[in-house]
Amino acid sequence: GQQLNQSPQSMFIQEGEDVSMNCTSSSIFNTWLWYKQDPGEGPVLLIALYKAGELTSNGRLTAQFGITRKDSFLNISASIPSDVGIYFCAGHLGNFGNEKLTFGTGTRLTIIP
């Protein structure tokens, strides 16, 4: 089946640093979603991308939908302690009858005091 590879697998940064992570696919998606999961919680939607080449921001977060439709990246600027968690990308074909999401392997973000 389809697989989404996220990199890096984990990141250790200092507060205030910028963060960049990406997600690549072996096949095309029509929608890319980025989620954050805190311990003991379900994933929370951060950003949704619907068009190839689209660049979307949500506060300190910026995400882009790759031109090839096989990749996406997420940037976090000026990281703060509450950014700690696991970030997942997810791809969606967006076709009726095929509504399911494929999730990436996740990037664990840790902020070093």
Partner 1 sequence: SAVISQKPSRDICQRGTSLTIQCQVDSQVTMMFWYRQQPGQSLTLIATANQGSEATYESGFVIDKFPISRPNLTFSTLTVSNMSPEDSSIYLCSVHVLANTEAFFGQGTRLTVV
Torsion from C-alpha of 17, 38, 10, 28, nearest 10 degrees: -100
Residue type, 53: G
Q: Does 59 bind partner 1 (CB under 8 A)?
A: no
Pair 18, 81: CB distance under 8 Å: no
Residue from 7, 13, 24, 103 in contact with partner 1 (CB under 8 A): 103
Residue from 14, 59, 82, 99 in contact with partner 1 (CB under 8 A): 99
Q: Does 96 bind partner 1 (CB under 8 A)?
A: yes
Query: Which is nearer to partner 1, 52 or 101 (by Cβ)?
Result: 101
Site string for partner 1, 28-47 (x = CB under 8 A): ---x-x-x----xxxxxx--
Residues that bind partner 1 (CB under 8 A): 1, 31, 33, 35, 40-45, 48, 50, 88, 90, 92, 94-96, 99-101, 103-106
